[in-house]
Each structure stands twice: as structure tokens, then as C-alpha cells.
Chain A
């Protein structure tokens, strides 16, 4: 069942948006009710955000873009979908190939239970209806990395259908507001990955690695998205869900998550335009870029009287554009046929489970439902409730790989307020990482170190500016603890009232002019004095304390 849908526009990138109110992100149309029976067409068209061509003035020629995604996620499993051979990324080529994987004549597929469970888990997490009976089909095409001449997939009756994925798009003036959106999931099907072709253009030969014939989940997202950012956010959310479930590592760079985008543009109120399919999207950033490029290309093409061909295009990430792949065969007819060697896949639930069934031979949907791990949306909600953080902060914590774990480890070890921890992790820590383009796992600062630092801050042993200094020292990877750094650099706050009074006195004596200014009621002069004292203490004194002493001495 699709959840009620909200459709929103999104941030403009290369083209202007029709402006409705002052913001840059706008709601078009009222939220509709359930759209479970809605076919892509007029009613959904009306809700699409409107794009105008770059050259035309606002409102003159409105375009709506429609984006659907086909996502292939490699299932994390020890063995392949239809054979017992191992699965391991970056294993030597063709070292993990069974007779079946090599399509030796007479070999037969045997379905991997783990892959079925992964599909059911994913289906449940994405609010899908799980089909108690699903079927396998052969999809035929000739390609060197498809040794059987066909791929086993689920074309007619997939394992899960009619789901939804809720994701959040940032909005508002500072992009600080998160707006929830829903994309319907048409189906999830189990299929076999092909091998991998490595083209050696120099020697004009192609090398084939059949290691890759692992299980895939193909997740088909309905064309409910309208720009690159929406698609990218939806994919990111799916990635988090798959990772939380453990059903796929979903690493795009390693090809564990592959996304193809179907894109078309049209005038609102008119039928959908001809769509193109964009492939070769190996990162979320490129996905967004490619979709936005393609939308603009189609708009420009149509504005200039051209037409859009139903074709497959490849995204060229160096040039930042999509290019026709020019399938010389034209439209492929895959000649689908039922896979005769696999009986229908039958799943059970608590009510349909036959009595005395061998647990090894049956899969119980209800049992899988009970063991589903916490999903990202729930994790975020918990973060908001437990630590009082803003929703967008919870998004950031989850979106950065490993950041949530880092955060939780810090929280565990420190006495500091969660809000303080959130601020340090999201601002200081993440800021440093971003600046140096590092992953959380590559961070020079461990959660314990940060926790210790925050403890020092919390106990007012150091000032927050000293804390920043300590953090910078920690970042240098010299293996020192915050405590060591503090004592070496003498960064403790000066607790000695007498000494501080002495220092204030010296500063006042050395800067009579400033003292005069203070006495002449120049309000900024006192701050200057505070600054001078702090400098003299090497920032180790609490400014509040300094101010008190100075005010007393100046009899203000």
C-alpha cells in the first residue's frame, strides 16, 4: 500500500522554478489521499514541480519532470543466488565460479534461502505486500558476461509489490527543514547478477569475470520523483535501510548498489513525455547530477523543437553530461519464459504454515517480520526524543557513514550534555572531516578522545576556546590524550583568583588609555581589556571571571 503522498518541489539547480511564495522549495498542490490505485497520469502530473526553460521567463513555459528509478542491490550473502559458490568482493577473477555459474550444460539453479529472506526483509521494511507465491523467469539476451544466454529474474510475479519509501528532503532558507516525501515502490524482484566484462580497447578484447553472479534485489521505484535531489535522497534512504537490514552493503562505488534512472519531461496537464533511461550512475552525487542534466537537456531539446528518443543514455561523469549509448539492435525483445527448473517460490505466514513443516524448507514471513532490525526512520525519531536534537541533525548523523556510531560512543563515555555532544560531533568533528575529505573511519580523533575532551569542557577545566585548541592538537594524530595536551600546553582554566587578580592589575597598568576609555563609558573598551587579560593567560582564564575582577577593580 502506498502511503499518502506529499509532493514537493525541490531546490533549483540549473533551472528556475516557478515561484509560488518566497521560499526556494515549494509545495505544489494539496497533499492527496491514498494513491494506491493511481496510475501515472493527469492527477499526478498536476502535482509535479514545475520547471521552466532557462531562457524563458518565469511562468512562460512550464515543464514538469518525472523521474523513476530501477535499483539493483547486491544481496549480502555467503553464497550466490543459484549456486553454492562463495561471494567475496575483489576476489581474483573467476576464482569463485561453480559449474552452474559457468553455465555448464546440465547444471540447474538451486535457490539460496538467505537471498529469499533478504528479499522478504527488504520488502517488509519497504512496506511491500509480500507475494506468498512468486515465479522465476528467464530473460534472454546474448552477452559475453551472461554465459547462459539468459538471466533468471522475476518478471511476471515478483516476491514483493506495492510498497513505499519515505525520505526527507531538506528545505527552508537554510536548508535546515526536513520535509518528508513518499515514493511508491512498484516491486522488488530477485534476480541473478551477470558476470563482469572488462573491455581492453588496446588489444580489442573483452575479459570476463564470472565471480559476480550473486543475488540481486531489483527495487523498482515509481516515477514519483521530479529532480536529481529527490532521487538522490530517496536512494540514500534506501541505502540506509538496506544497510540497517544487512540485506546489502549497498556500496555504490563497489557496484553493490546500481541505479538506472528513467526520466521524462512534459507540460503539466499533458500526457507524460517520452522517457530516456540513464545508466552508469556510480555515486549518489552523479545520480543527482545526471538526472538534473538530463531533465534540462530534454527541456532544451523540446524548446528548440527537437524530440526525445526513447533511448538508453550513459552518464559521463568527467564531462557531466549524458550521452546516447546507441544500441545498434534497437529495442531488445528479451523473449521472457518461465524458468522451468525452479518451482514457484512459496512463502508462508503464521496462519498458512503447514503443521510439522521442516523449518529448513519453509520461510515464514511473520517470523522475519519479528526479527526486523530498527529502521533508520525509527533511529532518527529516537535520537530526536532521547537527545532533544533537531530532526535534520538526526538525518545528518545517519547519512554520514559511521557518524551515528561515533556519536553514540561519545555519548556513552562522556558526562557532557547530549546537545553539546551533538553540536561538537556535527559542527566541529564533521567540519574537520569534510574539510579534509575524510570518512568517519579515517578520523584521527577517536570517540573516547572526544568524550574526554568534552568532559574537560563540561567540568570547566578548560574553556571552549581551549577545547578547540585541544581538538586541533588531537587531529594531528600525535597519540596524546586530551588531558596530556591540556597539561602540556597549560590550557587549564586559571582557577587561582589571586593570580588572576594580579594579572588583571598588570594589564590595567600597562594599558592606561584603555582603562580611561572604560571609565569614559566606552562600552567596547571593557571587552578589549578582557581580551588582553585572556591573552596574557593564554586563553586559560574564564572570561566571565575576568570580567568580574575587572569590573570590581574599575569600580564599575
Chain B
């Protein structure tokens, strides 16, 4: 039962094959068994069981609220949940219990979903881009800024004061390795597929410490779904934070169009790019969740009022011959692993062989996306983080000499180096003397990047097909060994521009690498053509028949839960 898709288990609930409480208990027990993955920060067992009980009553009375009634879900710990601690994986918000639910959380609960817990992430979801990435970029914006920032004696005092930092920000890790609750382990580390491949490798190191990262920043949500502890999870996606871990964990990771889904209650990273993301095991499940979440919210003025086709039922495409698939030539970067490149190319061939038109398109400003993102992201971060001053909620230091001293110490203690580094950069970019040269310029570049997509779509392309990540997930030890800023910066090259343009995009697991690890490809659609995008993705998903993760070894000690669940034989498509 646990290995099934959301739609399948929903059907089982409706048919009475299993009750919400049984389902909930199974998931809770698996959450406990897989605690070492560190997928959850908070497990809301009591809440979930109570919700299950209510759901059960509804089923008994024939008053099911719909497909999501009784379905265990998990929510990234940067969505506000009423009465449940919401930390953003930061010391700053440890112990913070919001008095309200994010709109998306409320909508899921209103549909009867069971909230299993809050999932792990990089601190404040900053797992996508590193502060120092600008050093490597020769984009439209001078790289000088980052060099000058921390060291320069003439940089304004106020900038370092407001950032609550005095030194050079350290290198940092991304990929859901960088929260105060520690890194998330990728369930695929323990899969039969991966283990077997590693046994063949004579150089394989100590297995226990050789686990893989999930990617970030919604790594906890990805691990939670991937390890069968829930059927869907909310992530957030600012530069790829949902699609990146989805690709590394063999899941569908969907980033809706900006404005389609409310951000109210999502603790922001970059307001103009953040979108609640959806992680599921198949495209249909993502569509069901999207159906529950999409729509205007009077509490979020950036949601659009256009009427939306609801529910998001996806037709099964029989024919792709009328489709035009665009392949952005700029996405063929030297760092792209040959395996990913080959799968990408095979996917294009697949469409072509089924009659679709596949054409090369150009997104000429792609290479400026990272540096542009850096300026816009850090600026908004500097602004958004200003509210964390220790006065009203979250962490407060012991220093009470003056309000200013309290601010500085609280923020120094509360934020990690990545967050402080971004605050510092952002404040620098927003200084009066720098605003035109950095922020305004970055906004112009953002417009160019968005226009690239508009031009591509105007040329007749329906969806773009790109890689999601450069390669498959890497072991944690390898990940932290090297100075990973180059890698991290480039890792988002395929996902980030989409956020700048506000477009919908979805990562679909395609195949396993030679190492036995999942590789995902990304489809990008026109703004607010989310349904069309998912329809194409669904067709593709059906063609590739991505294998199900085999977690027998992981589950050995929880055979009681899984003994009747022939996981290995559970197929995505029954």
C-alpha cells in the first residue's frame, strides 16, 4: 500500500481496502524507521492521527472530501503550520509556532489530507545558490562586488551591522545539507539498485558513511516521498529547490506558474520567484495536488484571478504529433554529465520518433541567469530577513545592552553563514550608490531572460525539454570535500531561469544512471499552461517507465510494515 501512488491509494481508501488510520499508522511507523534519513524536522503524529480519525468518519459516512481525503502528506518546514513548530531549519526560528496555516497547507487540510510532519531543508531554503558564485561569473554584472564586499574597509558599516556579521562568509553546502538539523540522506543511498552497482565497484568505500545527498533545498520533502513515508509533499521552488531534489530522488517535482498557487504563509526566500512546489511519485499525483492548491488567494495579491480549469485532470495523450518540443542549445554546457546528455538526447529522439516536432531553440541570456539571480535573490533576502530581529518571535540573544546590540547578536547567532552572507551582499546591492548598477541592471537582465522564453514560445514551441541537473546525486563526503561553489552555482543553471520568468516546469525521473541513481529531465511550459505541461510530462512518464526504488535493505528491520508489500513488484503504472 505504501508503495502505491496517491491516486491508487486514494482509490483503495474509497473502496475500503484500507482506512485512513491504518494508512496513517503505517506511514508514521515508516517515518520512525527511516528517521536516520533526517527527512523530517517535526513529525506531527498526534495531529495526523486525529486528522485520520476524522477522515475515517467521513469515509464511513460516505462524505469523503475527495482524492486527498485521508492521504498522508508532508510539508516543507518553511510553510507556516498553525500550532506546529516552523523552523526554516534555522536557529532563528527554533521554537517558533505560527498561529496560522499557510494557504496551501490549509487547502490540503480542507481536502482531508493528513499532515505527517514538517520536512527538512537548507536554512531558510537557501540551498540553491552560493554567495560566492558571482566570482566565477563574467556576466552582465561586474563580479567586483563580491570581492569587495566583506574585506573592503570602505564598505558601509551599516551593511555589516544589519547582516549581523563581521567576517567573510564561509563556504557552504547546499542540497539539503545545510540546515541546523543536519543533512538529509537520499533514500536511494539504500536502494537495491544503487547498492548492487556499488558492490561491483571495487573502490567503494564504507557503505554506511557513503550516503548520497538529496539535492536542495526541499530535500526533506523529496526524501519523505521517496522513502514512502507520505504520498505527496510540499516543497518550495525559488531557483530549482523542488525540481533539483526531485531529480536526485527519482520523483516528479513540479513548480507551478508564478501566481497560480498562493504564497501566503510560505516564509519567503525571494518573493518574486518563490512558488510552492509539489513532490509526488507520478505526474497524475502532482496534478491532483495542484488541483487542490491552485487558485487566487485574497491573502496573496500576486495570485492571478483568471478562472482555472479545475480539477486538474490530465488527459492521456495518444498522439504527440501536433507537439513542438524545443531544445535550448545554451543548456548543452560542458559540465553536463555524458549520461544526462545522452538521456536528454534520447528523450528528444523519443518525441521525434512519435511524430512530435523537435527543434533547437536559443535562450541567449541563459548564461547571465546565475549572476542576475544572485543580485535579485540576495537583495530580497536582505530585505526579507530584516524582520528576524529577536524582538517578537524566534531566537533572541542574552545581550540587552541596547536594542542595536541585541539585534546584532541575535542575528549573528540566529543565522548561519550562508544566510548572513546573502544578507550582507543584498544590502550592498541595495545601497543607494549601487542600486542602479546592480539591482536595476539585474532586473533588466531578468527581463531579457524572461523574454528569451517568450520568444521561444512565440516561435511555435509548446514545451521546452532540458536536463534538470548536471548529473545524478553525489555522496555527501564527496559533496563537502570539494569547494562546491562552482558545482552548486552551475547545478541550478537549468532550473533557475524558469523562476525568473515565472514559468511552470516539472522534473520527471527518466532512468537510472550507471551507478543506479535517478536522473531527471525537465519540461518547461508557457506561463499558466500548467495543465498542458503536465499532460506532456504524463505522456513522457508513461514512455520511460522509470523503475521504482527498491528499498528492501533499508526496510529489512521494518519488515513488519512491508512484509505484505512486494515493493519490488509495485509498478508506477498498474
Contact = CB atoms under 8 A, between A and B. Distances in A.
Nearest to B265: A106
Interface stretch (A44-52, A107-115, A172-180): A107-115
A104 B379 CA distance: 20
Interface in B241-300: 263-268, 270-272, 298-300
B100 to A, nearest CB: 6
A335 B382 contact: yes
Given A109-B301, A142-B404, A142-B407, A335 B263 contact: no
Nearest to A103: B387
B305 to A, nearest CB: 7
Interface in A144-198: 144, 147-150
Interface residues of A, number: 32
Nearest to A149: B386
Interface string A316-360: 000000000000010011011100111100000000000000000
B41 interface: no
Contacts of A267: none
B430 A99 contact: no
B387 A147 contact: yes
A361 interface: yes
Contacts of A361: 305
30 contacts: A99-B99, A99-B100, A102-B392, A103-B387, A105-B80, A105-B86, A105-B88, A105-B267, A106-B98, A106-B264, A107-B265, A108-B263, A108-B264, A108-B302, A110-B299, A140-B162, A140-B383, A140-B386, A142-B404, A144-B403, A149-B385, A329-B158, A333-B431, A335-B383, A336-B435, A340-B272, A340-B302, A341-B300, A343-B302, A361-B305
A142 B404 CA distance: 8
B162 A110 contact: no
Contacts of A111: 301
A206 B300 contact: no
A332 B86 CA distance: 33
A329 B403 CA distance: 14
Given A107-B264, A108-B264, A149-B389, A341 B302 contact: yes
Interface in B296-317: 298-302, 305
Contacts of A144: 391, 403
A104 B430 contact: no
A526 B162 CA distance: 89
A545 to B, nearest CB: 78
B439 interface: yes
A62 interface: no
Most buried by A among B80, B96, B270: B80
B303 to A, nearest CB: 10
A107 B268 CA distance: 9
Contacts of B86: 105
Contacts of A110: 298-299, 301
B272 A149 contact: no
A108 B430 contact: no
A72 interface: no
Given A106-B98, A106-B102, A337 B379 contact: yes
A341 B392 contact: no
B186 interface: no
B432 interface: yes
A138 B264 contact: no
B427 interface: yes
Contacts of A342: 301
Nearest to B402: A204
Nearest to A100: B299
Interface in B71-97: 79-80, 86, 88, 93, 96
A312 to B, nearest CB: 17
A341 B267 contact: no
Nearest to A332: B158
Interface in B389-416: 389, 391-393, 403-404, 407
Which secondary structure characterizes the binding site on chain A? loop
Contacts of A340: 270-272, 302, 380
A108 B300 contact: yes
B16 interface: no
Nearest to B394: A105
Interface of B: 79-80, 86, 88, 93, 96, 98-100, 102, 156, 158, 162, 263-268, 270-272, 298-302, 305, 379-380, 382-383, 385-389, 391-393, 403-404, 407, 427, 430-432, 435, 439
Contact of A104 (B98, B403, B404): B98
A149 B392 CA distance: 12
B156 A150 contact: no
A335 B427 contact: yes
A88 B49 CA distance: 43
A552 B300 CA distance: 92
B156 A142 contact: no
Interface in A78-120: 99, 102-111
B1 to A, nearest CB: 34
Contacts of B265: 106-107
Contact of B266 (A106, A142, A147, A208): A106
Contact of A337 (B158, B380, B392): B380
A333 B301 contact: no
A341 B431 CA distance: 21
A335 B428 CA distance: 9
Given A335-B382, A341-B301, A105 B387 contact: yes
A450 to B, nearest CB: 52
Given A104-B99, A106-B266, A341 B271 contact: yes
B305 A142 contact: no
Interface in A441-497: none
Nearest to B386: A149
A335 B431 CA distance: 5
A335 B385 CA distance: 14
A158 to B, nearest CB: 18
Contacts of A105: 80, 86, 88, 93, 96, 98, 267-268, 387-388, 393
B125 to A, nearest CB: 12
A305 to B, nearest CB: 32
Contacts of B404: 142
A332 B161 CA distance: 13
Contacts of A142: 162, 386, 389, 404, 407
B405 to A, nearest CB: 12
A130 B298 CA distance: 26
A343 to B, nearest CB: 6
Contacts of B435: 335-336
A332 B427 CA distance: 13
B162 to A, nearest CB: 7
Nearest to B428: A335
Contacts of B80: 104-106
Interface string A122-144: 00000000000000001010101
A335 B159 CA distance: 10
Contact of A149 (B99, B387, B430): B387
A254 B420 CA distance: 40
Given A106-B79, A110-B299, A110-B301, 7 more contacts: A104-B99, A105-B393, A142-B162, A144-B403, A333-B156, A340-B380, A343-B302
A343 B380 contact: no
A109 B80 CA distance: 16
Contacts of B393: 104-105
Nearest to B262: A108
8 nearest CB pairs, A to B: A149-B386, A335-B430, A340-B271, A340-B272, A105-B267, A106-B265, A106-B80, A103-B387
A144 B410 CA distance: 14
B387 to A, nearest CB: 5
Contacts of B98: 104-106
Contacts of B158: 329, 332-333
